[in-house]
Amino acid sequence: MTRTVPKTFIGRNPSVLWFLLALAIFTIGVTLMAQAGFVSTSFVKTLGKTLCLCLIAVAMDVVWGYCGILSLGHFAFFGIGGYAVGMWLMYARTENIVATSLSGRPIPPTEQEVIDAIGTQIFGVVGSSEFPLIWSFADSLFLQLLAVVLVPGLLALVFGWLAFRSRVTGVYLSILTQAMTLALSLYLFQNDSGLRGNNGLSGLQNIPGYEDVSQASLSIAFFWASAVALAAGYVLFAWVISGKMGSVIRAIRDNEARVRFLGYHVESYKLFVFTLTAVISALAGALYYPQAGIINPAEIAPIASIYLAVWVAIGGRGRLYGAVIGAAFVSLLSSWFTGGGAPDINLGFYVIRWTDWWLVLLGLSFVSVTLFFPKGIGGLFDMIVINRPVTDRQGDYGPDKGAWRREEGQE
């Protein structure tokens, strides 16, 4: 029964084509509805942000679902990406405002006066007007975009190298990544961190140079950019996890000691996956925050990365579309519940307000998905699409902590 394996990438991974098709229909549909006035600008922004969250969820799925590294730090990379692009947005916009207000003067302002005025505008809230060192390149969009990729990439590379080299795995690695995230967010909370402390960066929805363009058009532009980024990221990761690379990565998840004895340098592979996913997370963040309009250190707090893991678990880890479904479904549901969309339930003696009870509901669904549906929502798709005979397994797929449990393989 040696069936012929299709040679083309799409032929071997038909789900990629289906995903791209669904994404294209969704994007065009939302655009048409927005132009017809059925969908508000703020909802287009919410959907655009959701697409960015889907992208980081796909990255999380690759690092956790495929490589077995439960990273609780990917939202830190997401946040760094947001900060990097936010610095330019804020600087360039303030520069325009300052230039307008100073242009009325009889004597043209010197360059230093302009820079000082920008500094006062930006850092007034933290009682300073000096530009900290990390703002050195804030006037250059190109350099800040480079920072979106390089800073998280280098951080992931150094952190990952230290962690993987010492063979920290499983829960301990998760704790370590969480500690990194916490340290970063606590640092950013300080006023003298140079990034406006807990005020964060704001006004990011105003794109310098496009002041005349309405938010409605900008929101559609960012929505499209997010959709393209998600599509590109999805295809990239689908390509990485297909073929032999995917084979080795999944093997590392299930039994990394055995992979070592085959001659693969496991640490290099983990580092590759960790760094690549960190960079993609940062790109997702760089697209997310101009739509959100504001970034502050609370966004980076460890809880965000834990939510990310919850999305991927509910969506179904180990399948890329599962991560997308999980992120979209849970984050949209979350904004519906916490935004007052869900009606309160009056039990007579007690009123269930979903703004308070949503987290409890989310926690319960996380626990029950983990216990009863380890394949998540994505697993439902598998049941419809894949007609594989149920394998009769006796145990788990490997001895390592990240290895597939028995239930996950029944497809």
Partner 1 sequence: MSTLLEVSGVSVTFDGFRAINNLSIQIAEPELRAVIGPNGAGKTTFMDIITGKTRPDEGRVLWGDKGISLLGLSESDIARQGIGRKFQKPTVFEAQTVRENLAMALRNPRGPFDVLFSRGSAKADKGISEIAEEIGLLDQLDRISGELSHGQKQWLEIGMLLAQDPRLLLVDEPAAGMTPSEREHTTDLLVRAAKTRAVVVVEHDMEFVRRLNCKVTVLHEGSVLAEGSLAHVTANQDVIDVYLGR
Site mask for partner 1 (CB under 8 A), range 213-252, x = bound: ---------------------------x--xxx-xx-xx-
Neighbour tally for 299: CB within 10 Å: 22
Between the CA atoms of 292, 297, 302 and 308, what dihedral angle is there, to the nearest 10 degrees?
10
The neighbouring-strand residues paired with 379 are: none
Q: Does 129 bind partner 1 (CB under 8 A)?
A: no
- Select the span of 108-116, 133-141, 227-235, 258-266 touching partner 1 (CB under 8 A): 258-266
Q: Does 258 bind partner 1 (CB under 8 A)?
A: yes
How many residues bind partner 1 (CB under 8 A)? The answer is 34
Phi then psi for residue 6, to 5 deg, are -60, 145
| Residue the block writes with tokens 């303030």 | 94
d(C-alpha 196, C-alpha 191), whole Å: 6
Nearer to partner 1, 14 or 209 (CB): 14
Nearer to partner 1, 255 or 365 (CB): 255
Q: Does 261 bind partner 1 (CB under 8 A)?
A: yes
Which parts of 4-43 interact with partner 1 (CB under 8 A)?
Answer: 5
- Select the span of 144-152, 268-276, 287-295, 367-375 touching partner 1 (CB under 8 A): 268-276
Q: Which of 107, 262, 384, 386 binds partner 1 (CB under 8 A)?
A: 262
d(C-alpha 135, C-alpha 359), whole Å: 37
Q: Quick one: which of 369, 368, 359 has its CA closest to 333?
A: 359
d(C-alpha 307, C-alpha 249), whole Å: 24
- Mapped to the 3 state alphabet, what secondary structure does 269-280 carry? HHHHHHHHHHHH
Nearer to partner 1, 5 or 133 (CB): 5
Q: Would strands 351-352 and 294-295 be described as parallel, antiparallel, or unpaired? A: unpaired
Q: Does 2 bind partner 1 (CB under 8 A)?
A: yes
Q: Which of 224, 272, 329, 357 binds partner 1 (CB under 8 A)?
A: 272
3-state secondary structure of 237: helix
d(C-alpha 307, C-alpha 57), whole Å: 10
- Select the span of 261-269, 281-289, 330-338, 368-376 touching partner 1 (CB under 8 A): 261-269
Nearer to partner 1, 163 or 188 (CB): 163
> What is the Cα gyration radius of the chain?
23
Q: Does 166 bind partner 1 (CB under 8 A)?
A: no
Q: Which of 131, 164, 222, 404 binds partner 1 (CB under 8 A)?
A: 404
Token representation of residue 174: 């998760």
Residue 222 CB, shortest distance to partner 1, in Å, is 31
Find the helix packing angle between 302-315 and 74-102, rounded to 10°: 120
Which parts of 381-400 interact with partner 1 (CB under 8 A)?
Answer: 391-393, 397-398
d(C-alpha 140, C-alpha 123), whole Å: 19
Nearer to partner 1, 239 or 373 (CB): 239
Which positions lie near partner 1, rule CB under 8 A? 1-3, 5, 240, 243-245, 247-248, 250-251, 254-255, 257-266, 268-269, 272, 391-393, 397-398, 404, 409
